Each structure stands twice: as structure tokens, then as C-alpha cells.
Chain A
């Protein structure tokens, strides 16, 4: 089946730093989603992207739908301790189920 790759797999940053992560696919997608999962909980939707080149913000989070439609990027500015968790990307083509990436695990050091 389709697979998504996320990079990096994990990252340790200092509080206040900016974070960048990305997601790539071997297939073209029509929609990209970014989720955050806190330990022991279900993922929560952060940002949804529907058009190639689209740039969307949600507070300190900014995500972009890559122009090739095979990738997406998530940036977090001025990280805080509650940003800790696993960030998943998900994409789908028309009429298909969403495919999820393996996640980027973020740790924030005080």
C-alpha cells in the first residue's frame, strides 16, 4: 500500500526554538493533514491543507502543501513544553482512506 515518510523520526529541542518537520509520499495527494498525539491519547487534528502550495497557520503552527503534491511541511515557532508529543502527517487521494506517516516524536527541553 501507499507509504508516507516523515523526517526527522525524533528531535530534541530547547524551549523557545523553532521546529521544522516534513512528510513525503510516493503518490500525489489531494489533501494533507497534520495531527498531534499526546502520550496515551488519540491524535488531534492541527491543520488541514487542500491545495498545492497552500500555506496555513494555526497559532504558532504553520503547514504547507508541497507544490509537487507529494510532500508537506510543518513548522512550530517558539516551542513550549506542551508541544511535546508525536506529530503525524496524513494524506489521501480522491475517494481513498487516509494514509498516515510513522510520526515525528518531539521532545522539548526546558
Chain B
């Protein structure tokens, strides 16, 4: 079955460390997205990519970085510059940017700073 796989499910980071969250899709979707979810808040867009080797900043890109070397993969690195990284991170994909059919989401990665 096609879908989006995020790993790991839970991740613990020490202060000052960079960590990378994995997102892989086999839906043959062109566009991929990273969202951050905090308790009681909606989804906030971190980065998105419409095609391979291209990505754009979302609303809260500071302290994060991404790459899109393959169509299937869109890893997110949470850098030490991100001062409050503890959150639930969701990866999504769509056929194309702004596609009316909406996004397919992964099951998320919960990142905790220890």
C-alpha cells in the first residue's frame, strides 16, 4: 500500500544537538511538506518542496533545514538554533502544491529535548 513513513516515532535530543527526522513516500507525489504541531495549536508550516532539488521556507523555518535529493524523500533537520524544538512533527505529501485533493500525512515524530 502507498503511504508516507516517518521515522523515528519518538526522538530525544540533547540541547545543542542537531537531529534529522526521516520522511519517505511511495505515492509518487511531487510536493512534500513539514509541519510542526504544538498542544492546542494548529499545524504550522516549516518547509515545503514542490519538486526535487527545490524547497521553500514556510511560516516557521528558522532553526530548521531540509533537503530534497529524491522525489520520495524529504528529511528535516532540527538544528541547535531551534530554541524550542519539543513538538510533534508531521510530514505530508500531495500530487502537486495546493492540490485540491489535499495532503496525505505521515504518523508523525514526537521530538523531546532532554
Contacts and interface: CB of A to CB of B under 8 A. Distances in A.
A93 B39 CA distance: 27
Interface size bucket, B side?
20 to 34
Interface in A43-59: 43-45, 48, 50
B2 to A, nearest CB: 14
A110 interface: no
Interface stretch (B12-20, B61-69, B75-83, B97-105): B97-105
Interface in A7-41: 9, 30-31, 33, 35, 40-41
From A1, A35, A43, name the one whose CB has the most chain B CB atoms within 10 angstroms.
A43
- Chain A residues touching B, majority SS: loop
Contacts of A41: 107-108
B59 interface: yes
Contact of B90 (A31, A42, A98): A42
A97 interface: yes
Contacts of B98: 92, 94-98
Contacts of B85: none
B102 A33 contact: yes
B74 interface: no
Interface string A62-79: 000000000000000000
Contact of A88 (B42, B48, B110): B42
